[in-house]
Amino acid sequence: GNMELQKSSLYRTIDRVPKLDHYSNTLPHKQAKTRPSLAALRKAFKASPQIIFKNHISKHITPCSLIRCMLNIWGVIMFLRLSWITSQAGILLTWVMVFLSVTVTITTVLTISAIATNGKTVSGGPYFMVSRSLGPEIGGPIGLIFAVANALSSALNAVGFAEVVRDLMASYGTTIVDSTNDVRIVGVITMTALLLISFAGMEWESKAQMLFFVALMISFIGYTVGTIIPQTPVKQSQGIFGYKSEIFLANLLPDWRGPSGDFFQMFAIFFPATNGILTGVNISGDLKDPNVGIPKGTLLAVFWTTLSYLALPITVGSCVVRDASGNITDHISANFTGPCTGLACNFGWNFTDCISTQSCQYGLANNLQVLGQVSASFHLITLGVFAASLSSSLSYLVSAPKIFQCLCRDNIYPYIGFFEKGYGKSDEPLRAYILTYIICLIFVCIGGCLDIIAALISNFFLCSYVLINFTCFHASITNSPGWRPSFKYYNNWICMYGALSSLILMFLLTWWAALVTIIVVFLLFLYSSYKKPKVNWGSSVQAGTYNMALSYSVSLSSVEDHVKNFRPQCLVLTGPPNQRPALVDFVGCFTKRTSLMICGDVIMEEQQTHPQRTTDWLVKWMNKRKVRSFYTPIMANSLRGGTQNLLQASGLGKLKPNTLILGFKSNWKDSSPDNLEDYVNTIYDAFDSKFCLCILRMMDGLDIKDHFDCEDLCSKTQQLALHLTFPPLVESAEGISEKSDSDQIKTVFQNDQGKKNIDIYWIADDGGLTLLVPYLLTKRKHWRKCKVRVFIVGDEQNMEERQKEMLELLKRFRLDFQEVIVMTDTEKQPNPKNLNRFVDSVAPFRLFDEQKESASVQELRGNAPWKISDKEFEAFKLKSERKVRLNEIIRRNSLNAAIVLVSLPVPQSDCPSSFYMAWLDALTCGLHCPALLIRGNQEDVLTYYCE
């Protein structure tokens, strides 16, 4: 009997058609606030029966919504497989399967209802819901595979219909060509007819669904009547005896048979009959009020169809025995005295022979067409099978193009924009209809691998349910104020249960198809993440990111500082970041994925405005440059005042800067005295605030643009604002203008540094920052091959000892610096030519007060504090000579270095600002590589202890 079952054409048809059922409204409807009275209904019915149906009944029970849903649930699995599942699992376990399936589907229904009522739902169905909630990276893959799954499901249902038609013709001895080609011919004709119905519009599609619903109702009536009327001897020989308590009790418990006889395999066969709940959502753009129609229509459909799935096993299990021969001669005569096996003996039939040889052809366990045999007319069940397969195929054919059209319009994947165009008032996706039709024809004609495709389709749908449930769960737990669904009958943990249940079912149904589905979704996700679509839908992922950032920031505030957790969190005075790309790139080299970076922009003019669009554009500029940094503009009257505000207020909790980085003021000689004082006082303030300090100098003068002067900075800012207000090229609403690529100036820090040297001139112990920054640089791809050399001060007598001590210290610090060079000539006199150059650089700032009266000198000092007196010049002469000498050593040893790091001199209160700037200039002049003047705040940032 089981071998014959496997060979049955109808059995193969069901295997190939995963009956994915759908719920929701089809026709527009309005919600009535009050129900009409019975008298009003009678009066209106007398006036016009059509008016009463359209204006009153449809407002309250939404019959077209229920029709669409129940058509997709009452599928061919119910007609041709549920009786066999009942024979295997028994009535009780069949009920368990129904309840398990409903718990999964009902959680998804509640989830869909919540998402659908959280704002206006337009065309796109599940893709629209998931993408707008979890973002395009996750929504895009689901939209694509769900559209393909709908298209293939339409083809598979058409094939199922064609095979039933072929078998029906074969029973009458009729064929068109042969068995295989008959299925293809009928399938192509069926798909073409369904396409024409789809082209006619949703109104004609709804009328067709109404006809299918009527056909199904006739099938149910025929079956119900067949269980009640007295059974003929022919039906009794097939094991059909009408309602009997003995048959009900016998079929109550399971009777597993054959290799597929276990609970989970039966559940895998049954579950696809109840898990397709997205038809109404798929056509959400065609519903007049999706926020009402989707929850109401779906929940009502689940309720009534669940009752029918619970009733059918009871009715068929109370009327039909498991085994029967179909031989009318097996009727027991009055004088029969032989052995009799089976429940049928109580009703006068002896099926012992076929039971003992396991050759019974009829009964619940042996015949897939039991419902047709029980029915008052066998052809009524065939009519129901026709209606179920055709209605499902039509629903999928309508759904796939609408989902695909929405996906195309979002421009997530390339080369599909052609199919986004809509036609007519209802914006019908005719091009997408043609594409879906072609896909369906291809798979109708292939036919050979439909079993594999059917397994993939079931997993595609279940994968959609996983993400839909997870979408609602994620939106709920993020506590976003934008999540306000009007449908309140859901729970975030129930949503998570639905997601996990659907994921588990994917592997229970077909494990290899589940793996293929997950791999496909993951690859599409990687593509979307790499391309980063320029869309912003306010997804719950963004809300979740905010929650995580807020939670971790608050928890970080309770963590005590420790030297092992020190990170150089940098406040970089870049101004507009695109004006100093080299400074941005350099700091990004050692802070990316390691520590905090904030680009500070001090806008120094009271009337100067800084529009939000300017900030957004600069942030996009940094993102396009792949710089992970914040941008913080601040209004101030001076550079010093703005920097003080940034030093005090920038950051959040423990995520606040501890290192100030600025560019070298290369125009310090020509700058106004106030701006020069402002710059040096900013350095003073950084040290007073216990900040580490770094000053970057680029010798070519192209990458670092010195715009610290108020007038120049304001002019550049105004030019940037003017460019943003009147861009030369049209800028998209969510992206950067086409000119943005030309604005991305390439700097030396974006190049591969090769095997160049990173030279550290460690003149003073600053806590270790001078050693830590080069170590972080060598962790980057462009700096990985560089060799780090450490230069320290010493004398010839203890040179080897100093070198060993330094190497041992670096080893304990676990810094992979293998070369230490001891400078023994730092005390020598510098070259007179270089010293004279330094003297000439400070000459414009000297008072030359030895030739003037003391009263005049005091007056000059009061009016020009940046001026250098002769006494100050002599007091700092030795320091000046050492700076010049150190510069000579640097130029001699680091001519081809990738970057040079020099200990920054700490400014003294009695040192004029011009003198201090001359020192910085003298230390770094004449170099052709970037130079970084760096100084820690004297707190340890490196440790070799474990605690």
Answer yes or no: is pLDDT of 286 > 60.
no
Residue 784 dihedral angles phi and psi, to the nearest 5° = -65, -35
Confidence class for position 651, pLDDT limits 50, 70, 90: confident
Nearest to 304, CA basis, from 372, 220, 240, 363: 220
| Higher per-residue pLDDT: 483 or 25 | 483
Residue 849 near residue 860, CB atoms below 8 Å: yes
User: What percent of the chain stands above pLDDT 90?
Assistant: 19
Residues 291 and 426 in one domain: yes
Answer yes or no: is pLDDT of 898 > 50.
yes
Q: Which residues does 692 contact at the CB level (< 8 Å), separation at least 6?
A: 568, 658, 659, 660, 686, 766, 769, 934, 935, 936, 937
Residue 187 near residue 159, CB atoms below 8 Å: yes
Total domains present in the chain: 4
Strands of the 659-663 sheet, one edge to the other: 630-635, 597-603, 570-573, 659-663, 692-697, 931-935, 899-903, 757-762, 787-793, 819-823
Rounded to whole angstroms, how far apart are CA atoms 573 and 576?
9
The predicted structure's pLDDT at residue 739: 45
User: Average pLDDT, stretch 147-169?
Assistant: 86
Answer yes or no: is pLDDT of 234 > 80.
yes
Nearest to 890, CA basis, from 832, 936, 851, 834: 834
Answer yes or no: is pLDDT of 28 > 50.
no
| Long-range contact set of residues 738-745: C-beta below 8 Å, sequence gap at least 24 | 740/620, 740/621, 740/624, 743/578, 743/621, 744/581, 744/621, 744/624, 744/625, 745/578, 745/581, 745/703
Annotate 703-717 with DSSP letters as a single string. Answer: SS----SHHHHHHHH
Rounded to whole angstroms, how far apart are CA atoms 281 and 810?
65
Pairing of strands 630-635, 659-663: unpaired
Residues 478 and 591 in one domain: no
Residues 613 and 467 in one domain: no
Q: Is 854 helix (H, G, I), strand (E, B) or coil?
A: helix
| Residue reference for tokens 């995963």 | 18
| Higher per-residue pLDDT: 63 or 369 | 369
Mean pLDDT value across the chain: 79
Mind listing the pLDDT tens digit for each residue in 325-339? Answer: 888 888 887 667 677
Mind listing the pLDDT tens digit for each residue in 605-615? Answer: 654 566 777 88
Rounded to whole angstroms, how far apart are CA atoms 140 and 413?
8
The predicted structure's pLDDT at residue 519: 92
Report yes or no on 118 lying in a domain.
yes
Residues 337 and 383 in one domain: no
Answer yes or no: is pLDDT of 431 > 50.
yes
| Residue reference for tokens 């149910």 | 220
What does R_g of the chain's alpha carbons equal in angstroms? 41
The predicted structure's pLDDT at residue 65: 55
Rounded to whole angstroms, how far apart are CA atoms 935 and 763?
10
The predicted structure's pLDDT at residue 48: 41
Q: Which residues does 502 contact at the CB level (< 8 Å), separation at least 6?
A: 104, 108, 462, 463, 465, 466, 469
Confidence class for position 35, pLDDT limits 50, 70, 90: very low
User: Domain containing 184: what range?
Assistant: 62-322+369-531
Pairing of strands 931-935, 692-697: antiparallel
The predicted structure's pLDDT at residue 55: 39
Nearest to 80, CA basis, from 354, 448, 364, 452: 364
The predicted structure's pLDDT at residue 3: 34
Mind listing the pLDDT tens digit for each residue in 39-49? Answer: 554 444 444 44
Report yes or no on 708 lying in a domain.
no
Beta bridge partners of 600: 573, 632
User: Average pLDDT, stretch 637-644?
Assistant: 90
Buried b (16+ CB within 10 A) or exposed e, 539-568: bbbbbbeeeeeeeeeeeeeeeeeeeeebbb
Residues 490 and 587 in one domain: no
Rounded to whole angstroms, how far apart are CA atoms 739 and 758?
35
Answer yes or no: is pLDDT of 862 > 80.
no
**Reduced DSSP (H G I as helix, E B as strand, rest coil) percent helix, strand, coil of the chain, to 5:** 60, 5, 35
Rounded to whole angstroms, how far apart are CA atoms 721 and 717?
6
Rounded to whole angstroms, how far apart are CA atoms 380 and 382?
5
Rounded to whole angstroms, how far apart are CA atoms 407 and 401?
10
Report yes or no on 551 lying in a domain.
no
Residues 580 and 599 in one domain: yes
Tokens (6 digits) for 903: 């200990």
Rounded to whole angstroms, how far apart are CA atoms 772 and 767?
10
Q: Is 320 helix (H, G, I), strand (E, B) or coil?
A: strand
Rounded to whole angstroms, how far apart are CA atoms 373 and 388?
18
Confidence class for position 743, pLDDT limits 50, 70, 90: low
Answer yes or no: is pLDDT of 322 > 60.
yes
Rounded to whole angstroms, how far apart are CA atoms 171 and 78?
23
Rounded to whole angstroms, how far apart are CA atoms 465 and 459?
10
Residues 820 and 841 in one domain: yes
CA 126, distance to chain mean position in Å, is 14
Residues 338 and 434 in one domain: no
- Given 684, 703, 722, the domain boundary residue is 703
The predicted structure's pLDDT at residue 423: 85
C-alpha separations of 346 from 241, 293, 325, 331 in Å: 11, 52, 16, 11
The predicted structure's pLDDT at residue 759: 94
Report yes or no on 16 lying in a domain.
no
Confidence class for position 68, pLDDT limits 50, 70, 90: confident
Residues 505 and 569 in one domain: no
Report yes or no on 27 lying in a domain.
no
Rounded to whole angstroms, how far apart are CA atoms 566 and 769?
10
How buried is residue 452: exposed, middle or buried, by Cβ count under 10 Å (0-12/13-18/19+)?
Answer: middle
Residues 430 and 576 in one domain: no
Tokens (6 digits) for 528: 């979307």
Answer yes or no: is pLDDT of 279 > 70.
no
Residue 277 near residue 112, CB atoms below 8 Å: yes
Rounded to whole angstroms, how far apart are CA atoms 232 and 210?
34
Confidence class for position 709, pLDDT limits 50, 70, 90: very low
The predicted structure's pLDDT at residue 334: 67
The predicted structure's pLDDT at residue 389: 86
The predicted structure's pLDDT at residue 448: 57
Nearest to 276, CA basis, from 455, 465, 114: 465
- The domain that contains 388 carries what CATH number? 1.20.1740.10
Half-sphere exposure of 749 (CA within 13 A, CB side): 25
Report yes or no on 947 lying in a domain.
no
The predicted structure's pLDDT at residue 335: 67
Q: Is 142 helix (H, G, I), strand (E, B) or coil?
A: helix
DSSP secondary structure letter of residue 632: E
Tokens (6 digits) for 164: 């039933």
Confidence class for position 775, pLDDT limits 50, 70, 90: very high
Annotate 795-841 with DSSP letters as a single string. Answer: -STTHHHHHHHHHHHHHHTT----EEEEE--TTSPPPHHHHHHHHHH
Rounded to whole angstroms, how far apart are CA atoms 185 and 444?
9
Answer yes or no: is pLDDT of 1 > 60.
no
Rounded to whole angstroms, how far apart are CA atoms 480 and 476?
8
Residue 244 near residue 318, CB atoms below 8 Å: yes
Q: Which residues does 254 contact at the CB level (< 8 Å), separation at least 6?
A: 88, 89, 90, 93, 263
497, containing H or E segment: helix 492-509
Residues 771 and 649 in one domain: no
Rounded to whole angstroms, how far apart are CA atoms 588 and 265?
57
Report yes or no on 364 lying in a domain.
no
The predicted structure's pLDDT at residue 74: 78
Mind listing the pLDDT tens digit for each residue in 474-518? Answer: 888 877 777 788 788 888 888 899 899 989 988 888 888 889 889
Rounded to whole angstroms, how far apart are CA atoms 171 and 372?
15
Answer yes or no: is pLDDT of 732 > 70.
no
Confidence class for position 280, pLDDT limits 50, 70, 90: low
Tokens (6 digits) for 910: 């009695």
Residues 488 and 377 in one domain: yes
Mind listing the pLDDT tens digit for each residue in 810-854? Answer: 888 888 887 899 998 888 888 989 899 998 888 888 877 665 555
Predicted structure pTM score: 0.67
Q: Is 232 helix (H, G, I), strand (E, B) or coil?
A: coil
DSSP secondary structure letter of residue 749: G
Rounded to whole angstroms, how far apart are CA atoms 701 and 667?
10
- Angle (nearest 5°) at CA 400 between 398 and 406: 110
Residue 440 dihedral angles phi and psi, to the nearest 5° = -60, -45
Residue 872 near residue 910, CB atoms below 8 Å: yes
- The domain that contains 660 carries what CATH number? 3.40.50.620
Kindly provide the residue ranges of all beta strands, DSSP E only, lying in 336-450, ordered along the sequence.
none
Report yes or no on 897 lying in a domain.
yes
